Amino acid sequence: PGALGVFMFFLLTAFGMDPFLAGLLGGLPRIFDAITDPIMGFISDNTRSRFGRRRPYIFAGAILSGVFFALLWQLYEENGVMYNFWYFLIFSLIYLVGNTIFSTPLIGLGYEMTSDYNERTRLMAFSQTVGQIAWMIVPWFWVLIADPDLFETQAVGVRQLSLIVGSICIVLGVLPAFFCKGLDASHMGGRKELSLSSLFTNLKDLFNGIVQVSKNKPFVKLCGATFLVFNGFQMVASFSFFIIVFY
């Protein structure tokens, strides 16, 4: 997602997309993502597998995320603005499904690797530290893509660098599936059966669970604070490069 935000800038400068359409491409897929995240969490929570309930999804999601991130950016200026708009929108939705399959179980696995509170806190702190280091590296993509000594045009830079980023995402993304092991959940009770016949019943249970959680006022306040903090951060991060370049 961090690389996605950096690459989005080049929809305007490399592919000549209207800022309004580029804004839609940044917002509409996120609405879809907000719907798929809790659904994926429900599926992962109730999965029964000899490989665990998180790792199979992490493995598959890492591959899907990397592949579709690379495909997402195979845009060409000569295809026209509206073609690129619909191409990007469709592949954004597919990419975010893959990213949801990867990231949602990964977060769950992080909290399940140990039952000790202090150790779990240290694990998540280390995870956040690595994530922040990645955020320090990602802005350099702006420099690399725009460097005429590396790429003939920005569009070529976007297409080629996306292949490299997608490959790295696959290689690094599958590592937790192989080397991280959560607590044994094979005997955990109260889990739902996952099948097509129980699909609507499960969705109803999921919706009822969301309603029950929304009645917890302290939790809702925490969600609201998190929403405001992250949106403030993302808005500043998204506009910063436009301000630097154009003003």
The predicted-structure confidence for 100-109, as pLDDT tens digits, reads as follows: 999 999 988 8
User: Mean per-residue pLDDT for 4-9?
Assistant: 81
The predicted-structure confidence for 86-98, as pLDDT tens digits, reads as follows: 999 999 999 999 9
- Determine the pLDDT at residue 153: 92
Decide if pLDDT at 188 tops 70. Answer: no
User: Mean per-residue pLDDT for 166-192?
Assistant: 81
Alpha carbons 219 and 41: distance in angstroms, whole number: 18
10 Å Cβ neighbour count for 143?
A: 9
Chain center to CA of 147? 27
pLDDT: which is higher, 168 or 34:
168
* CATH number for the domain harbouring residue 43: 1.20.1250.20
- Determine the pLDDT at residue 83: 94
Decide if pLDDT at 184 tops 70. Answer: no
Q: Is residue 225 part of a domain?
A: no
Q: Is residue 246 part of a domain?
A: no
Q: Is residue 115 part of a domain?
A: yes
Q: Is residue 244 part of a domain?
A: no
- Determine the pLDDT at residue 195: 67
Domain with 101, as residue range(s), is 2-197
- Determine the pLDDT at residue 35: 86
Q: Is residue 67 part of a domain?
A: yes
- Determine the pLDDT at residue 189: 62
Q: Is 144 exposed, middle or buried (0-12, 13-18, 19+ CB in 10 A)?
A: middle
Instruction: Give pTM, 2 decimals.
Output: 0.86
Can you tell me which residue has the tokens 């994530």? 131
Domain count, the chain: 1
Per-residue confidence band for 1, with pLDDT thresholds at 50, 70 and 90: low
Per-residue confidence band for 162, with pLDDT thresholds at 50, 70 and 90: very high
Alpha carbons 59 and 98: distance in angstroms, whole number: 10
Backbone angles phi, psi at 81, to 5 degrees: -65, -50
One DSSP character per residue, 203-223 reads HHHHHHHHHHHHT-HHHHHHH
